[in-house]
Structure 1
Amino acid sequence: MKKVYIIIASMVLMLSIKSNAQIVKAEIRATGLTCSMCSNAINKQLKSLPEVVNVEIDLNTNTFTVILKEGNELSPKVFKEKVEKAGFFIGSLVVTAKSNTIAQNTYIMVNDKKSNVSEIQFQVLDKGYVTEKEFKKLSKSYKNIDTYASNNEDDFHIKMIN
């Protein structure tokens, strides 16, 4: 009887843990940058994450491509915090992640695009991950999705790209 309780408790614990997608790469387009010193501030913040292998910067588009170590458990929230800590905002966040690590209770798909590949690419559509103008437009499009309007920082509404 004791074993049954242990097994049930273990199952409940495993199901209640929120896991994040194993992110392979994040492409962050930052807004508000005016010079190379601005991009340097974001670059330093991103490189301060121990999970980061490399950060590539495209100054023409203000895009930071962040390559991550395998097995990391980062969420998009970490990138938002780092960019904002540098004094800027995210205009767009496109994530490449291992498809088998997407947690349904954390990532909410807003389009029906399905993919059978090992890595998927998606854009995070929540406030703070798109421009304010884009968010207002998306809010009208996704007004029927209750979780989108609630703006819970632990839920990520995503649009599959590939």
Structure 2
Amino acid sequence: MKKINKVYMVIASMVLMFSMKSNAQIVKAEIRATGLTCSMCSNAINKQLKALPEVSNVETDLNTNTFTVTLKEGNELSPKIFKEKVEKAGFFIGSLILTAKSETISNSSFILVNAKKSDTAEVQFQVVDKGYVTEKEFKKLSKSYKDIATYMANSEDDFHIKILN
């Protein structure tokens, strides 16, 4: 009887392990924030991003309100964490461009909205969901991607991406 219980536990563990959505290993994130008016505003976002243990460096461009976040090897961050950190600082994401290892993209929770493939070791892509682009851009994209059922569902667990390189 104990042997049967162990077999069930192993099977249940494997099912759980393979059914969970995994995230691509993100190498770098370029976040363009909206609503910033001064250097103190950018400092609030900078502090939030640097508080993540997976972050090795944050560079800020005050002219474009862009934060370039370099991440440590082996992290499993999702785009959602960047959105949460920027919003916790009191601002919004106008654009989120990520660079990730290309072999991890196909094994992740990202849904490709354009047919472009990348043959490089790292792939650069933009998250095009609501909350990751400006409201004006989202309305425009909603018309373009109206045939993608998951895009219109607006689930926070699905990340629709557009390959850039």
Q: What SS is found at the alignment partner of 2:162?
A: strand
Question: 8 Å contact 2:26–2:101 — kept in the other structure?
Answer: yes
Q: Do residues 19 (structure 1) and 18 (structure 2) align?
A: no
TM-score, normalization by structure 2:
0.92
Q: How far apart are the structure 1 equivalents of 2:112 and 2:129?
A: 12
Out of 35, 47, 60, the residue aligned to residue 44 of structure 1 is 47
Counterpart of 1:71 in structure 2 is: 74
Give the percent of matched residue pairs that are identical in Structure 1 and Structure 2: 80
Q: What SS is found at the alignment partner of 2:37?
A: coil
Counterpart of 1:34 in structure 2 is: 37
Question: 8 Å contact 1:107–1:158 — kept in the other structure?
Answer: yes
- Structure 1: runs of 5 or more not aligned: none
Q: How many residues align?
A: 162
Shift of 1:13: 2.8
Q: 1:72-119 deviations in whole A, cap 9, x for unaligned? A: 000000000000000000000000001111255610000000112211
Structure 1 residue ranges, 4+ long, deviating more than 3 angstroms after superposition? 1-11
Q: Considering only aligned residues, what root-mean-square deviation do their CA atoms show, in Å? A: 1.7
Counterpart of 1:116 in structure 2 is: 119
Distance 1:21 1:53, change over 3 A: same
Distance 1:40 1:93, change over 3 A: same
Distance 1:105 1:65, change over 3 A: closer
For residue 100 of structure 1, what is the amino acid of its counterpart? E
For residue 140 of structure 1, what is the amino acid of its counterpart? K
Q: 1:19-42 deviations in whole A, cap 9, x for unaligned? A: 101000000000000000000000
Question: 8 Å contact 1:20–1:103 — kept in the other structure?
Answer: no
Out of 96, 99, 103, the residue aligned to residue 99 of structure 2 is 96
Q: How far apart are the structure 1 equivalents of 2:34 and 2:13?
A: 45
Distance 1:105 1:119, change over 3 A: closer
Counterpart of 2:88 in structure 1 is: 85
Q: How far apart are the structure 1 equivalents of 2:76 and 2:111?
A: 17
For residue 147 of structure 2, what is the amino acid of its counterpart? N
Q: Do residues 157 (structure 1) and 157 (structure 2) align?
A: no
**More divergent stretch after superposition (61-70 vs 115-124):** 115-124
- Structure 2: runs of 5 or more not aligned: none
Counterpart of 1:138 in structure 2 is: 141
For residue 43 of structure 1, what is the amino acid of its counterpart? N
Shift of 1:14: 3.0
